[in-house]
Amino acid sequence: MSLQYQIIPVTSYEQNCSIVWCDETMKGVVIDPGGDVHLLKQAIEALNVEVVNLVLTHGHLDHVGGTEELAAITNAPIVGPHKEDEFWLQSLPNQSQRFGFPHTDAFEPSKWLNEGDVIEFGNQVLHTIHTPGHTPGHVVLFNQDAKMAFVGDVLFKGAIGRSDFPRGDYDTLISSIKTKLWPLGNEMKFVPGHGPESTFGYERRTNPFVADEVPLW
C-alpha cells in the first residue's frame, strides 16, 4: 500500500491543489481546493477517489475559494486550518472583492486542526503541524512513511511564504520552517502552495532564506 497524490493547479494564482489518496482503498482527501472546481471534480472522477475530507492549510482565498462548492459535490467535511485563521475565513467576501475573484462566502470548517491531529483516509494518514508565520493558523500536513509533506505557503522551492499579511510574522515563519519542518528529515519531499516540488534537504542546502548557514534569528 502507498500514498498517492496528484496536483491540480487552480485559479489565476496557479495554486497547487492536491488530491491525496490511499491506493488500497481509494479513499482520499483534497488539500486546498482553491477554485476551478470543475477541474477538481473531473480529476476526482477520473482517479476514482472517494473524497472523505477537504483539508485546508490556511485561510487565504486562493487556497479555499472552491471549498464549499466541492464539499457540496463530495459531501466531505471540511477540516482545518488552525482556529487562528478564523479571521481569514470570515473575511473571504472582502478577499474575493479585493483580489478580483468570484464572490466567496465566509464559512467555518467542520473541525479546526491542532498540532498533532491526524487525518485518516483508508489505510493512510496525514499528521498536522501548526506552522504560523505566513498566517497565524497555517498548518502543514505530512506522511512520514511516504516522506511527503504538503506545506501550503510556508515554504517554496528557493523561497518562503510572505509574512507581510495581517498577523503574519517573518521571524515566526523562519522558526516554523527550521524547528518544525527540518526535523522531519532531508528526504521529505514537499508540495508547496505554488510552483514546483522540492525536498527539505535541497532547501536546507540552497534556499537563500532558510539554508543551514542562514542564522535562525
Long-range contacts, stretch 47-50, CB < 8 angstroms, 24+ apart: 47/6, 47/19, 47/21, 49/19, 49/21, 50/25, 50/26
* Per-residue model confidence (pLDDT) at position 216: 56
- Give mean pLDDT, residues 29-45: 98
CA distance 112 to 124: 20
* Per-residue model confidence (pLDDT) at position 29: 98
CA distance 108 to 79: 9
- Give mean pLDDT, residues 145-160: 98
How high is the mean pLDDT of the chain? 96
Tell me how many degrees the CA angle 178-11-112 measures, rounded to the nearest 5.
Answer: 50
Residues in the chain: 217
Q: Please, how many CA atoms are within 13 Å of residue 58, restricted to the half-sphere of its CB?
A: 27
Strands 139-143, 124-130: pairing is antiparallel
> Residue 94 carries which side chain, given as an amino acid letter?
N
pTM, two decimals, is 0.97
Measured from the Cβ of residue 80, the count of other Cβ atoms closer than 10 Å reads 30
Asked if 178 and 207 touch (Cβ cutoff 8 Å), the reply is no
Strands 118-121, 148-152: pairing is unpaired
CA distance 215 to 73: 47
Domains identified in the chain and CATH numbers: 3-206 (3.60.15.10)
* Per-residue model confidence (pLDDT) at position 213: 77
Closest CA relative to residue 5, chosen from 38, 35, 32, 30:
30
* Per-residue model confidence (pLDDT) at position 215: 62
pLDDT at residue 16 tops 60: yes
- Give mean pLDDT, residues 136-152: 98
Tens digit of pLDDT for each residue in 74-133? 999 999 999 999 999 999 999 999 988 889 999 999 999 999 999 999 999 999 999 999
Tens digit of pLDDT for each residue in 49-59? 999 999 999 99
